[in-house]
Amino acid sequence: MTKKETKQLEQDDKHYIWHPFTQMKDYTEETLLIVKRAKGSYLIDTNGKRYIDGVSSLWVNIHGHRKKEIDRAIMRQVRQVSHSTLLGLSNVPAIKLAKKLVSIAPRGLSRVFFSDNGSTAVEVALKIAFQYWQQRPHPQKEKTRFISLKNAYHGDTLGAVSVGGIDLFHETYRPLLFKTYQAASPYCYRCSLKKRYPECSLACLNQLEKVMKKNHQKIAAMIIEPEVQGAGGMLMSPPGYLKGVRRLCSRYSILLIADEVAVGFGRTGRMFACEHEGVHPDIMAVAKGITGGYLPLAATLTTEEVYQAFLGEYREFKTFFHGHTYTGNQLACAAALANLEIFEKEKALQKLQAKISYLGNKLRPFTALSNVGEVRQKGFMVGIELVKDRKTKEPYPLEGKIGIRVTNEARKRGVVIRPLGNVIVLMPPLSISYRELNTLTEIVYKSILEVTGD
Ligand SMILES: Cc1ncc(COP(=O)(O)O)c(C=O)c1O
């Protein structure tokens, strides 16, 4: 692409596109990167410059870009049909994918409701949980509310925002939202109960139990990001926490919704994060990595018990009156099937284990930096929390844009990452090579040094 063509695109981008989660006033030429192509772990811009895709194109890419098996599966599907509706019809890849998802999902999840992004998968989960209590054999109609966690992120649609817990993103919309019960976040580095793991004996679970004990008759479900609160800052739950949540939900007859949108499909080192603690949710939402980072697709899985509550004579109107236009889209389902086949064929999860340890070793030097408060890792999800003062854990003021500055610095050096406030996120494709991991971590290390002036 010529310099002139690039310039024109830059101008048109600034003229026409309103970018998500972006202060457009700050959106300058310096920060503009127009992706033209990609290959493996690399994004390539209109000038031919290559960048390591350090956050898997917003946590979705799994086996790398231009993976030939996925490319081919989509093209094969294009030659058959690209889209027909799932409302009243079915299609080949959607059926095969639903069967495959049930076979790999945590035990007990037996039905698949397709949608097209993480937020819709969560909306579907919330509505199903709500409606389940209204119309199951022994209805409990007062069970209409939800529990979620501080620092939770479940998407940007209003239901998902209602169960969100990040003030910066969610507070503006409060008048539009339904009320939820909020429990403490298992954010050990900044424990709101001022305790330390493991001496705390998971005191945050006691606090959660108090809320449940008092209100369980009004609570339909608890929604949680299993093992890692992603957008909240890559907050890894302490061992035993997720299992404890499951135990409490069962004790108080509260459905457990596992939002595996970010952590699903190998991100944490297991196919689903719930597997780390042998947890079986009642409802599970998946999206992001489901198509290997190719096409928008999501699914909400439920147990048979939940599904059965929606069956009845038509006139009873127990139907789940919900559906998105592109639900079960063939191209996306074909991509997802190919993605899951690669997991098996290439033994991707087995191979990932050594890479996870390698990444852990590469992260060790970061902990010595004077402005790094904590380095958190679960599988291939990493959060490096920058702090103004390591001793007091005083955060950098958000206005200082420390995370964004590190990101810009990394970009100059050939790495694309995206921070969460003061937390630098690394989440490369699972297929990244050891050499590329070296480059990624070295560039991010240097960028932090440069910006913090360590
Ligand atoms: C845990 C979790 N749930 C839901 C979502 C929303 O997904 P989407 O952006 O596809 O709507 C996200 C997105 O980051 C997420 O991390």
Helix (H, G, I), strand (E, B) or coil at 377: strand
User: Residue 81: what are its φ and ψ, rounded to 5°?
Assistant: -165, 140
Residue 146, domain member (yes or no) = yes
Domain boundary among 313, 345, 377: 345
Q: 159 CB less than 6 Å from ligand 1?
A: no
Question: The domain that contains 117 carries what CATH number?
Answer: 3.40.640.10
| Number of domains making up the chain | 2
What would the 3-class secondary structure string for 294-362 be?
Answer: CCCCEEEEEEHHHHHCCCCCHHHCCCCCCCCCCCCCHHHHHHHHHHHHHHHHCCHHHHHHHHHHHHHHH
**Measured distance CA(363)–CA(365) in Å, rounded:** 6
Looking from the CA of residue 122, the nearest atom of ligand 1 is: 4
Check whether residue 307 and residue 387 sit in a common domain: no
Check whether residue 40 and residue 58 sit in a common domain: yes
Check whether residue 309 and residue 440 sit in a common domain: no
Question: The domain that contains 422 carries what CATH number?
Answer: 3.90.1150.10
Per-residue pLDDT reduced to its tens digit, 37-51: 999 999 999 999 999
Per-residue pLDDT reduced to its tens digit, 313-336: 999 999 999 999 999 999 999 999
User: In Å, how far are 202, 228, 241 from 205, measured between CA atoms?
Assistant: 6, 16, 7
Q: 421 CB less than 6 Å from ligand 1?
A: no
Helix (H, G, I), strand (E, B) or coil at 368: helix
**Measured distance CA(294)–CA(125) in Å, rounded:** 23
**Measured distance CA(353)–CA(359) in Å, rounded:** 10
Per-residue pLDDT reduced to its tens digit, 53-92: 999 999 999 999 999 999 999 999 999 999 999 999 999 9
Check whether residue 253 and residue 226 sit in a common domain: yes
**Measured distance CA(2)–CA(8) in Å, rounded:** 10
Residue 250, domain member (yes or no) = yes
How far is ligand 1, taken at its centre, from the CA of residue 201, in Å?
30
| 370 token code pair | 């004077």
Check whether residue 52 and residue 156 sit in a common domain: no
Helix (H, G, I), strand (E, B) or coil at 390: coil
Q: 150 CB less than 6 Å from ligand 1?
A: no
Q: List, in order, residues 6 or more apart from 144 with CB less than 8 Å away.
A: 130, 133, 218, 220
Per-residue pLDDT reduced to its tens digit, 229-276: 999 999 999 999 999 999 999 999 999 999 999 999 999 999 999 999
Q: 260 CB less than 6 Å from ligand 1?
A: no
Among candidates 76, 87, 115, 53, which has minimal Cα distance to 341?
76
> What pLDDT, on the 0 to 100 scale, is given for residue 287?
98
Residue pair 224/189 in contact (Cβ under 8 Å)? The answer is no
Check whether residue 294 and residue 436 sit in a common domain: no
> What pLDDT, on the 0 to 100 scale, is given for residue 49?
97
**Measured distance CA(451)–CA(230) in Å, rounded:** 24
How far is ligand 1, taken at its centre, from the CA of residue 61, in Å?
14
The maximal CA–CA distance of the chain, rounded, in angstroms, is 69
Strand partners, 424: 384
User: Residue 2: what are its φ and ψ, rounded to 5°?
Assistant: -75, 160
* Banded model confidence at residue 27, pLDDT cuts 50, 70, 90: confident
Q: Ligand 1 pocket check: which of 56, 114, 153, 267 to mutate, most ligand atoms within 8 Å of Cβ?
A: 153
Helix (H, G, I), strand (E, B) or coil at 274: helix
Check whether residue 152 and residue 127 sit in a common domain: yes
Residue pair 109/183 in contact (Cβ under 8 Å)? The answer is no
Q: 118 CB less than 6 Å from ligand 1?
A: yes
- For tokens 């981008």, the residue is 13
Domain boundary among 345, 376, 410: 345
Check whether residue 284 and residue 431 sit in a common domain: no
Per-residue pLDDT reduced to its tens digit, 382-391: 999 999 999 9
**Measured distance CA(218)–CA(212) in Å, rounded:** 9
Per-residue pLDDT reduced to its tens digit, 349-374: 999 999 999 999 999 999 999 999 99
Check whether residue 260 and residue 382 sit in a common domain: no
Query: Considering the chain, what percentage of its residues have pLDDT values greater than 90?
Result: 97
What length does the chain have? 454
Strand partners, 39: 42
Q: 232 CB less than 6 Å from ligand 1?
A: no
Residue 374, domain member (yes or no) = yes
Residue pair 221/129 in contact (Cβ under 8 Å)? The answer is yes
Check whether residue 323 and residue 359 sit in a common domain: no
**Measured distance CA(335)–CA(314) in Å, rounded:** 35
Range of the domain at 403: 33-63+347-452
How far is ligand 1, taken at its centre, from the CA of residue 227, in Å?
15
Residue 409, domain member (yes or no) = yes
> What pLDDT, on the 0 to 100 scale, is given for residue 184?
96
Q: 290 CB less than 6 Å from ligand 1?
A: no
Check whether residue 176 and residue 59 sit in a common domain: no
Q: 262 CB less than 6 Å from ligand 1?
A: yes
Strand partners, 284: 258, 301
> What is the overall mean pLDDT for the chain?
97
Check whether residue 46 and residue 86 sit in a common domain: no
Residue 294, pLDDT > 90, answer yes
User: In Å, how far are 94, 285, 379, 439 from 358, measured between CA atoms?
Assistant: 37, 30, 11, 13
Domain boundary among 345, 377, 410: 345
Q: 328 CB less than 6 Å from ligand 1?
A: no
Residue 30, pLDDT > 80, answer no
How far is ligand 1, taken at its centre, from the CA of residue 214, in Å?
30
**Measured distance CA(386)–CA(395) in Å, rounded:** 7
Per-residue pLDDT reduced to its tens digit, 395-443: 999 999 999 999 999 999 999 999 999 999 999 999 999 999 999 999 9
Residue 3, domain member (yes or no) = no
**Measured distance CA(298)–CA(328) in Å, rounded:** 9
**Mean pLDDT of all residues in 222-231:** 98
Phi-psi region of 87 (alpha: psi -120 to 50; beta: other; left: phi over 0): beta
Residue pair 452/407 in contact (Cβ under 8 Å)? The answer is no
Q: 230 CB less than 6 Å from ligand 1?
A: yes
| 107 token code pair | 């035990």
User: In Å, how far are 15, 22, 31, 202 from 25, measured between CA atoms?
Assistant: 12, 9, 12, 44
| 388 token code pair | 């103004």
Residue 280, domain member (yes or no) = yes
